[in-house]
Amino acid sequence: MVDTQILKRGDDRLRVVVLHGSMRQRSYSRLLAYEASRILFQLGCDVRMYDPTGLPVKDDLHHNHAKVPEQHVILTAVFKNQIDWIPLSTGSVRPTQGRTLAIAQVNGGSQSFNTVNALRILGRWMRMFAIPNQSSIPMAYKHFTDEEEGSRLMPSGNRDRLVDCMEEFVKYTIVMRPHFDLFGDRYNEREEKRAKQKKELDKPLSVKYALFQRAENPCLSGEACTSPWINPKQMFLVAADFRTLQGTL
């Protein structure tokens, strides 16, 4: 599918990140994530699965930590914590905006859809497009082989449904990928960008001139900065401002 629709046109493979919600040694949430990853790989995707081990609880103090299942009938704290570490916005755009989303869950008992329903709400808030299909595996402990046999999801209607979901996810992504910029273009975000640009243009001319001169200073190349009129800590700010300012002076 990806070979005919993506690679033959010279485009990059679809890049997919897979999250799971448990850190137990034999976690059925993780095993389901591995199975989905294998299917996506067979469909031609470039797949990465995030390991939440060692990720601290999200708070306002650890924004740049290096490690950026269903429980009580809802998604676990382990899973939600991974979502909380995703920044709300990059500039004025959510990093998840316009992305496609596939959802699945495992159950220790009878089949439930509480978690996948909650994930749809979460995905909508993150401005993602969730595919219509979904997978929910009841009594998951009965559907995976032993570790000696690779901990694979056994052939059944449940695995067929998972394959259906992954195929649908890839199809929707292929269809929507060429229009990603269109889906990510929102009026309120354009207005926010314009307001920031106007604020930048309204800076006093003396400040703009200082920044312009500083941008041409050789200390930007890594040499010691001794300029008395600007703080060396502002080097990156100046470099970022330079392209904007050179058209306004």
pLDDT in tens, 96-151: 888 999 999 998 888 889 889 999 999 998 889 999 999 999 999 999 999 999 99
Task: Report the C-alpha gap between 244 and 200 in whole angstroms.
Answer: 9
In this predicted structure, the answer to whether residue 229 has a pLDDT above a threshold of 80 is no
In the predicted model, is pLDDT for residue 239 greater than 90? no
**DSSP one-letter string for 83-115:** HHTS-S-BTTB-TTTT-EE--EEE-SSS---HH
**2-183: CATH class:** alpha beta
For 186-214, write each residue's pLDDT tens digit.
888 888 888 888 888 887 655 555 555 55
Residue limits of CATH 3.40.50.360 in the chain: 2-183
Ramachandran area for residue 133 (φ above 0: left; ψ -120 to 50: alpha; else beta): beta
